[in-house]
Amino acid sequence: MRMEPDWVNQLYFGDNLDILRRGYIPDASVDLIYLDPPFNSNATYNVLFKEKDGTDSVAQVKGFEDFWHWDMGAEATYRELVSDGPPRVSQLMQALRQFLGSNDMMAYLTMMAIRLVELRRVLKSTGSIYLHCDDVAGHYLKLLMDAVFGPRLFLNEIIWKRTFSHGNVGRNYGAIYDYLLVYTKSATYTWNQVYTPFSEEYIERTFKHQDPDGRRWQSVTLRNPGERPNLRYPYKASNGVTYQPHRNGWVCNIERLRQYDREGRLHFPETPEGALRLKMYLDESSGIRLQNIWDDIPPIGSQASERLGYPTQKPQALLERIIGASSNEGGVVLDPFCGCGTTVAAAEKLHRRWIGIDITHLAIALMKHRLHTAFEGELSEFRVIGEPQDLASARRLAEENRHQFEYWALGLVDARPAGEPRKGADRGIDGNRYFFDDNSGKAKRCILQVKSGKVEASHIRDLKGVMGDRAEMAALITLEPPTHPMRTEAAEAGFYHAGGLNLGKPVPRVQILTIGGLLSKAERLELPQAHGEATFKRAPRQRKAKRGSS
């Protein structure tokens, strides 16, 4: 059994620059990098679970302010790039500073430049990097990519139609696309050709011939595109006619031409002077080689099963295409701004090893839940680095950032943050865990509340009141030990039976879980025959080939 290195299949909590510089990821070890950084569009662009009243997620706004405003940190990073960075990067940053000045855009580009330098370091010589952009800062990012990777290693600019036509366009053209800048580390890079299916119109127009058995085909030339004197020879075909080559020569040697003839793949012209051609069958055609305008991957609809509430979430099909084209099974895929984990989920499905980095515990919690529910028993073993490992570090997180503590605690029970305004009937609900315990297809709900301070019996009474008839079960996650009256109050809620019947093992309807017990695995959220949350669709994995080493 092959042992995986201890730096793959990892989720890292923290600043990706710090993670990259700490040496967790070895030099020249990554096959493919995809990054979808905030585009510096405005102060609320990358907010997670934006509230309906317009308020923002505290954690994400903090991350935005840390990086995108010109301050002493941006100044220090700029000076480091100028004095110690690669020469082309140093020259470009000075030119951009002179042109833009010391503003938020310059801070954004400084943040991106220092990270692109580190990302190039960990990329293999055969690796590729895809940088997802829009028209806000994309033209500046193209200059940065040229400086870091070299303009000669620019592979493509891919246009992706990210949304449908806008009806409120006024004195401008509707902006409906993003684009991806694709660079390679060297001229020798991993490439797996991607094809798109023929349209019905194209098939009718192009494959207009049919054999007696109904197989459709088109007639293609046997003329060599270049001059090949060694392939100029007369050919006597099975119909008794001798055909002369084009002055460039045939496209293949005489042995291959005879094989085509034996297989009935030659298309004979109406006259002996006509051009001998080849039958290309529809059922043997891979399709159309993928071009650099992608309009066949739609945006995530409002009711899509993979939709998580991230304003910047990308369709998994988009990442699967990128990963399939620029990496092989067993290769390592890195996403340093992994957000809700679409890259990680796509890599896991396609049997790649992966590394995800994000600065919020909310993102890490969502990714853990997404992986567990999408892949169930087929999920590769993975670790989370940077999370609290004991009560002392959990308390430090609670003191530093209550919201981050809440997101992390929900992740311990594989729950999704509520993500909606906690008002009215649902006041006090921090998270949800859904489960199925019958054949109705209807998900049952367990609501969760997280407490980092002192707890008492009134918290359980309040939680039971919120549960009411809106949820089948409820759980309180507490940093401090629960009191005896709390346990008594929870026990009075009784038991929940699967499917509402006295079948199987009943579970407490209201449960109290401690951070210490969850960390030690002594406690867990008990659900009746839980099969995962309805939010995530079970991910059909590709048939697994033998993994090669990377």
Is residue 45 scored above 60 in pLDDT? no
For the record, the structure tokens of 465 come out as: 């009141």
Burial profile 227-244: b = 16 or more Cβ within 10 angstroms, e = fewer: ebeebeeebebeeeeebe
| Contact residues for 339 (Cβ-Cβ < 8 A; gap 6+) | 36, 48, 310, 312, 313, 358, 363
pLDDT reported for residue 93: 97
Q: Is residue 235 part of a domain?
A: yes
Question: Do both 412 and 484 map to the same domain?
Answer: yes
Fill in the DSSP letter of residue 301.
Answer: P
Taking Cα atoms as reference points, which of 483, 489, 474, 488 lies closest to residue 525? 474
Question: Do both 172 and 212 map to the same domain?
Answer: no
Rounded Cα distance, 288 and 324, in Å? 16
Average of per-residue pLDDT values in the chain: 86
Question: Do both 334 and 301 map to the same domain?
Answer: yes
Rounded Cα distance, 386 and 388, in Å? 7
When pLDDT is cut at 50, 70 and 90, the band that residue 548 belongs to is: very low
- CATH number of the domain that 189 lies in? 3.40.50.150
Contact 61, 403 (CB under 8 A): no
Distances, alpha carbon 292 to alpha carbons 37, 182, 259, 343, in Å: 21, 11, 36, 20
Is residue 502 scored above 70 in pLDDT? no
Is pTM beyond 0.85? Reply is no
When pLDDT is cut at 50, 70 and 90, the band that residue 533 belongs to is: very low
Task: Give the torsion sign (CA, 198, 204, 206, 210).
Answer: positive
Question: Do both 511 and 472 map to the same domain?
Answer: yes
Task: State residue 435 phi and psi, 5-degree precision.
Answer: -150, 160
Domain stops at, among 250, 284, 318: 284
Taking Cα atoms as reference points, which of 88, 122, 125, 119 lies closest to residue 181? 119
Q: Is residue 367 part of a domain?
A: yes
Least trusted range by pLDDT, from 170-174, 292-296, 323-327, 452-456: 170-174
Question: Do both 147 and 252 map to the same domain?
Answer: no
- Largest Cα span, the chain: 100
Question: Do both 480 and 406 map to the same domain?
Answer: yes
Residue located via tokens 């396609």: 350
Contact 68, 105 (CB under 8 A): no
Contact 506, 497 (CB under 8 A): yes
Rounded Cα distance, 19 and 358, in Å? 10
Q: At what angle do helices 361-375 and 402-412 cross, to 10 degrees?
A: 10
Question: Do both 296 and 165 map to the same domain?
Answer: yes
When pLDDT is cut at 50, 70 and 90, the band that residue 162 belongs to is: confident
Rounded Cα distance, 197 and 211, in Å? 22
For 392-431, give the DSSP string: HHHHHHHHH-HHHHHHHHHHHTTPEE--S---GGGTT--E
Question: Do both 378 and 463 map to the same domain?
Answer: no
Domain stops at, among 348, 367, 385: 385
pLDDT reported for residue 207: 94
Distances, alpha carbon 327 to alpha carbons 70, 171, 293, 320, 511, in Å: 37, 43, 20, 10, 45
Q: Is residue 268 part of a domain?
A: yes
For the record, the structure tokens of 362 come out as: 């909310």
pLDDT reported for residue 163: 85
Task: Give the torsion sign (CA, 393, 364, 370, 424).
Answer: positive
Taking Cα atoms as reference points, which of 152, 154, 76 lies closest to residue 114? 76
Question: Do both 346 and 395 map to the same domain?
Answer: no
Total number of domains in the chain? 3
For the record, the structure tokens of 346 come out as: 């796509």
248-282 confidence digits (pLDDT tens): 999 999 999 999 999 999 999 999 899 999 999 99
Question: Do both 23 and 155 map to the same domain?
Answer: yes
Where do the DSSP E strands lie in 436-518?
444-451, 473-478, 495-496, 507-508, 510-514
Residue type present at position 210: Q
pLDDT reported for residue 205: 94
| Mean pLDDT computed over 278-300 | 92
| Mean pLDDT computed over 37-43 | 62
Q: Is residue 90 part of a domain?
A: no
388-422 confidence digits (pLDDT tens): 989 999 999 999 888 889 989 998 998 877 754 44
Q: Beta strand 510-514 with 473-478: parallel, antiparallel or unpaired?
A: parallel
Distances, alpha carbon 478 to alpha carbons 58, 384, 391, 434, in Å: 22, 21, 11, 20
Contact 532, 373 (CB under 8 A): yes
pLDDT reported for residue 308: 66
When pLDDT is cut at 50, 70 and 90, the band that residue 107 belongs to is: very high
Is residue 532 scored above 80 in pLDDT? no
From the number of C-beta atoms within 10 Å of its C-beta (0-12, 13-18, 19+), residue 541 rates as middle
Question: Do both 377 and 424 map to the same domain?
Answer: no
Domain that holds residue 484: 391-519
Domain stops at, among 342, 358, 385: 385
Rounded Cα distance, 78 and 114, in Å? 8
Is residue 59 scored above 50 in pLDDT? no
Task: Give the torsion sign (CA, 457, 462, 463, 467).
Answer: positive
pLDDT reported for residue 170: 80
- CATH number of the domain that 511 lies in? 3.40.1350.10
Rounded Cα distance, 451 and 53, in Å? 24
Q: Is residue 188 part of a domain?
A: yes
Backbone dihedral region for residue 9 (phi beyond 0: left; psi -120 to 50: alpha; all else: beta): left
Least trusted range by pLDDT, from 261-270, 318-327, 530-539: 530-539
Question: Do both 297 and 381 map to the same domain?
Answer: yes
Q: What's the start-to-end Cα distance of the chain, in Å?
A: 16
Q: Is residue 82 part of a domain?
A: no
Rounded Cα distance, 321 and 298, in Å? 13
Number of Cβ within a 10 Å radius of residue 534: 16
pLDDT reported for residue 57: 37
pLDDT, greater one: 497 or 279: 279
